[in-house]
Amino acid sequence: MDADSTSGSPSEQPPQKFAEILGILIAVLTLTLPPFIIARYSGGSLEEVVPTTYPIGRVAK
């Protein structure tokens, strides 16, 4: 076996441009889709949520 030989021909290159575009598309969807889904299904009304309050007594000294 020669050390200079390669398994593939030099004219065959992996589809790097397609992989780059696919990666960019996945990144953009990952960053933009969740906020849109949260905004769509959040209901938009925060007045319905009533925080629970507990009475706080004074600490005896």
* Structure token pair of residue 56: 């706080």
- What DSSP state is assigned to residue 44? S
| Span 3-47, pLDDT tens digits | 555 555 556 666 799 999 999 999 999 999 999 999 888 876 555
Q: Give the model's confidence band at 1: pLDDT under 50 very low, under 70 low, under 90 confident, else very high.
A: low
Measured distance CA(22)–CA(29) in Å, rounded: 11
* Structure token pair of residue 14: 């992996």
Measured distance CA(14)–CA(36) in Å, rounded: 34
Measured distance CA(16)–CA(23) in Å, rounded: 10
- What DSSP state is assigned to residue 57? P
Look at the pTM and tell me if it is higher than 0.75: no
Measured distance CA(41)–CA(20) in Å, rounded: 32
